[in-house]
Structures are given as C-alpha cells and as structure tokens.
Amino acid sequence: MSGWAGILFCFGAITAGLAWVDAGPASGLRHLYVLPTLWAALRFGGLGGGGGGLLAALLYAPFVLPAIERGGLTAESVEGLISLGLFPFVGSVMGSLARRARHQAARYHLLLALHRTLTGGGAPVHLLGEAAGQLKVALEARAVAIALMPYGSEPLVVTRGEREQERGAVEADSAAAWVLREGQSLFVRDVESDPRFGPTPFNAAPPRRLLLVPLSAREGRIGVLAVERRGGFGRELRATVETLGLQLALGIENARLVDRQRRFAEELEEKIGAATERLRELDRTKSDFVSIVSHELRTPLTSIQGFSELLLTRPLSVEDARRCLEAIHREAERLGRIVTDLLDLSRIESGRESALRPRPLALGPLIDANVDLFRAQSDLYMIECDIPDGLPPVLADHDALDRVLKNLLSNAIKYSPGGGPVRIRAGAAAEGAGWVELSVEDQGIGIPAEALPRVFDKYSRLLHPETGHVGGLGLGLALVKSLVEAQGGRVRVESEVGVGSRFIVSLPTARSPGKTQSA
Amino acid sequence: MDALTRAFDPARSANGPLIPFPPRVLVPFAVVGLGGLVAGHLGWISLAVVKVLGVVGFHGGLLAASFAAAWEGTRGWKPHAALVALSLLTAATACAVTPWGCLAYLLPPLAVALVTLRHPECRRMGLALWADWRALARGVAIGGFLGAHLLLSASRTFGYPVRLNPPGSYLTDVLYDVGANVLSSECFFRGTLFNRWQRRWSFWPAAVAVTGLSVLRYLADPALPRAVETMAGAIFYLALLSLSGCALLRSSGSLLPSLAAALVFFSAYRMLHVR
C-alpha cells in the first residue's frame, strides 16, 4: 500500500482506534497521527504534509472540542488544542524540508548529468537534445527548448515538448528572440492569458508558466533556454533554472571548443595527409623524371659517342664520315630540343616566363608554315587544313603558338602509326564571341578515358604496343598546356580509343576586351 | 513551443485587469437587490418579494459578472445573463408562491448548462458538461468529509440536532443551493476570480484571496445565524471548502468537482438545525 490510499487508511485506523477507546482530548494515542502525517510529508512535500496534518487535526477535533464545550479550557483540552495546531505545522514544515532536500539533490544530479552529457562528445544537436530531455524530466516541465544563435552554418533549435521531439526556428518577433536581443530573463505567468502574446482562448486548466533565460558565455549571448511548466513555477525553481542556464551556456561553449578543436585536428590531419601524398607524388615524379631523362639523354648521347668513336678510330670515306657527322648533328639537335623543353617548362611553371609577348596574330600563315614543314618531313601523312576566311586575329605570342602547333602536330603524327590523316581546323569558339578555337585532330590510337585526366601532366606518356618506339620525355602536351594558359587560353582533349584524338586550343581574339594580358 | 513561435509584444502589459469584468455589470442587479431591501425595510413590499429580489439581485449579479468575464469584453454575454437572471426570478417566485415551487430552482443550472453547451467561452470559467470521474469523486469525497465532520463536530460539541425534518424545507434549502447559492458562488469565486488570479499570481495568493472574499460573502448573508460559534464554524469550514474548491479546479481544470464538493457539503449542512 502506498500513496494517499495507505496514508488515508492509517488516518482512518488511528481515528477508529481513538473512537474505540473513547479517547479524551489529551490521549497519548493522538501522537499516532504524526506517523501518517510524516508519511504524507515525505511522500508529497509541504502541501501533502500540511494536508495530512490538517486531516489529522480535523479527525482529532471531535475528541477535543466537545470536551472544551463540556468542561471549558482545562489542561487536557489545551493540550488537545495544541495538538490540533501542531499536526498541520509539523506536516508542512517536514514536507517542505523533505521537498527542498529532494530538489537540492535532484539539482546536483541534473548538473552532473548535464555536465556529463555536454562533455560526452557527439553531434551538438544530439547533445542538446539529450540535455533538453534531462531538463524536461528533472524540472517536470511541459516543454523545454534550447535555441542557439547561428554557429557554423545555421541556428540550432532543440525542443523537448509534449511530442517527443520538435524542431523549428525562432521567429523574429517571438519571446525567445526578445530575450536574445535584450539579454535578460523573462518570466511569463501564463502564456494563455498573457496579453503580450495576443488573444488566446484559455480554459480553467492550470496556468502555463514560461521562463526564458538567456544563455551567455565569454563570446556573448549564444542562445536562450525556455522552460514551460503547468501549474507552479516558484521563485526557487526559477533561480534553479537561471543557474542551470549558466551551466548550460558554459557546457555548450566547452562543447563547441572541443568540437572546434576536433575539426581543426581533422583538417590538420587531412592537410598533412594531402601534403604527404603530394610529396610521394613528387618523389615518384622525380624518379620518373630521372629515369626518363636518363633514358632520353642516353640514347642520343650513345649515338653521338658511337659515331664520334667511329670517326676517331677508323679511317672512313668522306661520304661515310659525312653520314656519321649528320647523325651526330641530328642527335645533338634532339638533345638540344629536350633540354630546351625542360628549361621552357621550368621557366613557365616557376612564373619566370617573361618572354611571351601576346599581340594580334593571324592564325592562317602560322598554320600554313607548320603544315608545309611537316609535309616536307614525311609524305606518309596527309595533313588537311580548314581555315575559314575572315578569321579574326588572336592575341598570342608568335613563337609560343608556333611551339604549341608543332607539338600538337608532332604528337598527332607520332600517335597515328597507321598514317591516317591529320586535320587542323580553326574557327569561332563555341563558348562565345571573343574566342577562336584551333583544333588538331588525328585518327590514331586514341587515348583511354582513364588516361585523359593525366594527358597534360608532365612525363605522362601513353603506352601502346604500336607506339612503343616513339621517344620523348612526355613533356610536349604539358608544355602545350602551360604555353596556352600563359597566353590566357585554354586547351582540352576529346578522344576515343581506336578512333582518334582531337586537341582543341581556345585563344582570345585580338578584339576581345580584357584579354590582352600577357602570361 | 509558443516561446519560440508566437508573436510577443513586450510593450503591452503582462496582466489583464484585476477585476475581470466591468463593474457596471453589477449595477442593475445591485439596484434590484438593494432596492428590494430598502423597499422591504420601508414596508412597501412583503418579505417574500424582498427575498425574490434579493436572490435575483445577488446571485444573478454574480452569474452575470461571471458571464461578462468569460466573454472577455466582447458582446454576446448579456442575453445569457438575462436568461439566467430570468430563471432565478422564476425559481425564487415559484418557491415563494407554492411549496413545490422550489423545484424551479433546477431552472438556473439548466440555463447555465444550455449556455455552456452552445458557447465555448464558458470554458474560461471551467464550465463543462462533464469532467473526469476521478476528479468528481474527489470533489464528492471532500465535500462529504467536510460535511460529515461539520455534522459530527456540531452535534457532539454544541448538541445541535441532525435531522431531515421537515423534508419539504430540507428539499427547498438544497434546491436553493443547487440553483442559486452554490452555482453562483462557484462560478464567480472559483471559476472567474480564482481562475484569473492564479494566472496572475500563483496558487496560494489567489486561493487565499478568493477564500477570504467567499467567506465574507457568506458572513454577509442575512440567512447565517449570528451566534459566535456558528460564525467561527462557518469561517473554518467555508475556508476549507473554498481552498479545496480551488485545488480541485486547479487539478482538474473543471468547475464540476468543486461544484460537487460544495453541493455535498451544503446538503450535509442543511441537515443541521442550528439554534
């Protein structure tokens, strides 16, 4: 048996016992009323204890008052009268003390729980949700909301109400927004009948008290804590909520600091990982570079050494000696080109390229000159030109564009082992006026899709059985890209394996405004 | 949550008026009641007519004020107040004219129930046609306990007899409580004043203030015997009854448990033959 039923039973039993023994106003048995009174006080607090004491007084009064009426105020009847007053007094005082002690303990538990929750790690929305839930239970609140000012991306609002979880925004003209602006607490005695909230149909249900406390930390006001209770919301409880607001603000600030620190550590780790990967890439590139360069340099050097030894050690006819010297000259030129490419690329990439002088340049003569040059070198390839009349001049450096064209044409020929046609086209760019597109198209082996993103990287070479004999450092396309971009242009590639490739260079026209900057 | 979403105007006052109805509401009822008293004192009208005018003026005034407060300054309460006043007039007149006329005191509660059925404004004073049975049982238990205690204490201490004789007179008294006394007191003191004041202050200040006013109202009642012990007993029990009524209204959100407690208590009280 517990609660009111047990307490009422005890009161009834004691009263029946007193009636059974026909107790007088100062009967010793009257002290038994203290037991259920204390039970009520410990179980229900001051109001319960006071109510229990009052009930005891009411039940005992019929044993005291008739005695006073019959015999006047005797010592016994005065003792009985004092008992009538003592029962409610003892009950209410004991109940109040018990309730206060319980509240104090609950408050400390809540503070500890909040501290544990807010330092437990996890997403802020979950931490705040848990904290709001704990506050709702501990304060016996109808609803608890924690609304935080924008931090990071967006404002955060967590509500634990009659529904399990509500999320929403803080309206600009709401009470919470006012508390955030003014930085002072707001106590509303009844949300339903308070004229500041406008007309609301209320009934006779207990008032809905509302307390809004600003959450302030070192960085200023960070949010607001709103607690809504049905019925009482005494001064002591309000002070508790204010204290909890302070603790909550500190906890939120600490949680944010921890969160910020964690994100910083993650970013740092990410950056270190990226830097390490970049270093590994550079190391690999350096190894590739050394390997390729040593291979590409050794080949002409070996030829030069071989032919020069031949010239030195054997008596050769004039004709043979000339062939040897021609071979030495050809290989020396090849060495020179390799060194020039390396130096050009290094200069452009380091930003030290100042030799580029973009100026209005007609594409037709430059393309024709290059086509003639490559036609003269090999009859195997058919090079077709499609240059429309009236093509506007581009803004480019003559020598740089010449090297671009040579590299693209050389590339197209090298990777077309079957000797298919190579087409050069020029025309207005699809991306709009002010741009001219120059494309070099072959019907060679093509480039696999997975290799396309790396096609303009340095030392990137396409390995293919049919083009294994093709030499080179893999610098040509990297150089093309660097030169084109240094002149304010763009380059891209379209390719399909077995069908061919198309390299497209977009350059600003000489008339387009704002495109006259040099590299 | 309203704190986050509802519009809030800090420039407005946090509280409505302390007296939630315009005092001029009471003027015509005061004129009727006091006019009747003066006319009776001057011998212009009989005592029966004075009683009729007193019932209409006093209880009609309390109920009209309750309706005016429930409608919160908007129009529409006057016909209902007039209906209830008319039913009170009918009941008091019938009671004065014929012995079984007291049954007409069932008219005012019926009129109030009719208004409650059709107008949700009455919920502002806790009026509804039904309430939680546990709350009603609590009300009956509290009223019964206080009533029984009163009977026991008064009969044992002062030797007042407890009896139902004559049954007609007892029925008249109980029906008067049902139709006028309890109905108007609960609607006005608990439903109107306490319900507003507990929102403005807190439970105890509101309950104590309302209890003081309602005890004063009974002490000023000319029907209450003027013996010291009777008045002390009235103050004690009516204060407990009033505080219980406030607690019942607060816990249940309905005026019906409080009405039940008061009706049971007064039904017991009417059995006591105070000399």
Q: How far is A177 from chain B (nearest CA, A)?
A: 7
> For residue B142, what are the contacts with CB-CB under 8 A and spacing of at least 6?
B241, B244, B248, B261
Count of beta carbons in the 10 Å neighbourhood of residue A470: 14
How high is the pLDDT of residue A517? 40
Give the chain A residue whose CA is nearest to the CA of B249.
Answer: A204
What is the distance of C-alpha A320 from the center of its chain?
Answer: 73
Give me the residues of A, 51-80, that contact B with CB < 8 A: 54, 58, 61-62, 65-66, 68-69
How high is the pLDDT of residue A463? 66
Tens-digit pLDDT string for chain A (519 aa):
457 888 999 999 999 999 888 888 888 888 899 999 999 999 888 888 998 999 999 888 888 888 887 777 788 888 888 888 889 999 999 999 998 898 888 888 888 887 777 776 666 667 777 778 888 888 888 888 888 877 665 566 777 766 544 556 777 788 888 888 888 888 988 888 888 887 776 677 888 898 999 988 887 888 888 898 887 888 888 888 888 888 888 887 887 787 788 889 999 999 999 999 999 988 887 887 777 777 778 878 888 888 888 888 888 888 888 888 888 888 888 888 778 777 777 777 776 655 677 888 888 888 888 888 887 776 667 888 888 888 888 888 888 888 888 888 888 888 777 677 888 988 887 767 788 989 999 888 888 888 888 888 877 766 666 655 566 667 788 888 888 888 888 899 998 888 889 999 998 888 655 444 433
DSSP designation for A358: -
Q: Do A191 and B2 touch (CB under 8 A)?
A: yes
Token pair 């580029």 is at which residue?
Answer: A356
The residue type found at A110 is L
Q: Where are the domains of chain A?
A: 3-100, 119-262, 280-349, 359-508
Q: Do B8 and A228 touch (CB under 8 A)?
A: no
Whether chain B has a CB inside 8 Å of the CB on A195: the answer is yes
Looking at the domain A119-262, which fold is it? Beta-Lactamase (3.30.450)
Phi and psi, residue B20, nearest 5°: -80, 15
Q: Among partner residues A66, A175, A202, which is closest to B3 by beta-carbon distance? A: A175
Q: How far is A110 from chain B (nearest CA, A)?
A: 23
How high is the pLDDT of residue A516? 42
List of chain A residues whose C-beta atoms are within 8 Å of the C-beta of residue B10: 178, 196
Whether chain A has a CB inside 8 Å of the CB on B191: the answer is yes
Q: Do A175 and B196 touch (CB under 8 A)?
A: no
Specify whether the CB–CB gap between B121 and B20 falls below 8 A: no
Tens-digit pLDDT string for chain B (275 aa):
788 888 888 888 888 788 888 888 888 888 988 898 888 888 888 888 888 898 888 999 999 999 998 888 778 888 899 999 999 999 999 988 887 888 889 999 999 999 988 888 888 888 887 788 899 999 999 999 999 988 888 888 888 888 876 778 888 889 999 999 899 999 999 999 999 898 888 888 999 999 999 999 888 877 777 777 778 888 889 999 999 999 999 888 899 999 999 999 999 998 888 76
pLDDT tens column, B144-201 = 999 998 888 888 888 888 887 677 888 888 999 999 989 999 999 999 999 989 888 8
Specify whether the CB–CB gap between B126 and A204 falls below 8 A: yes
Q: Do A231 and B16 touch (CB under 8 A)?
A: no
Q: Do B199 and A193 touch (CB under 8 A)?
A: yes
Q: Concatenate the DSSP letters of all residues of chain B into one string.
A: -HHHHSB--TTS-SS--SS-S-GGGGHHHHHHHHHHHHHHHTTSS-HHHHHHHHHHHHHHHHHHHHHHHHTTT-S--HHHHHHHHHHHHHHHHHHHH-GGGGGGGGHHHHHHHHHHHH-GGGGGGT--S---HHHHHHHHHHHHHHHHHHHHHIIIII---B---SHHHHHHHHHHIIIIIHHHHIIIIIIIIIHHHHHHS-HHHHHHHHHHHHHHHHHT-TTS---HHHHHHHHHHHHHHHHHHHHHHHHHS-SHHHHHHHHHHHHHHTTB---
Whether chain A has a CB inside 8 Å of the CB on B232: the answer is no
Token pair 């006001």 is at which residue?
Answer: A221
> For residue B272, what are the contacts with CB-CB under 8 A and spacing of at least 6?
B150, B151, B154, B155, B160, B161, B162
Class of domain A280-349 (CATH, top level)? mainly alpha
Whole-angstrom CA distances from B64 to A493, B79, B83 are 91, 10, 10
Looking at the domain A359-508, which fold is it? Heat Shock Protein 90 (3.30.565)
Count of beta carbons in the 10 Å neighbourhood of residue A154: 9
Instruction: Look up the ipTM and state it.
Output: 0.80
Quick one: which H or E segment has residue A435? strand A435-441
List of chain B residues whose C-beta atoms are within 8 Å of the C-beta of residue A192: 199
- Residue in A189, A208, A233 to test binding to B, most B beta-carbons within 10 Å: A189
DSSP designation for A196: G
Specify whether the CB–CB gap between A262 and A212 falls below 8 A: no
In this structure, are strands A143-151 and A154-160 parallel, antiparallel, or unpaired?
A: antiparallel
CA distance B209 to A43: 28
Q: Among partner residues A171, A198, A232, which is closest to B203 by beta-carbon distance? A: A232
β-partners of residue A323 are none
Count of beta carbons in the 10 Å neighbourhood of residue B230: 17
CA distance B152 to B147: 9
Q: How far is B36 from chain A (nearest CA, A)?
A: 35
The residue type found at B245 is G
Q: Among partner residues A175, A189, A204, which is closest to B200 by beta-carbon distance? A: A189
Token pair 């070099």 is at which residue?
Answer: A440
The residue type found at B160 is Y
Token pair 């003569």 is at which residue?
Answer: A365
For chain B, first and last CA: distance in Å? 59
- Residue in A170, A174, A209 to test binding to B, most B beta-carbons within 10 Å: A174
DSSP designation for A163: S
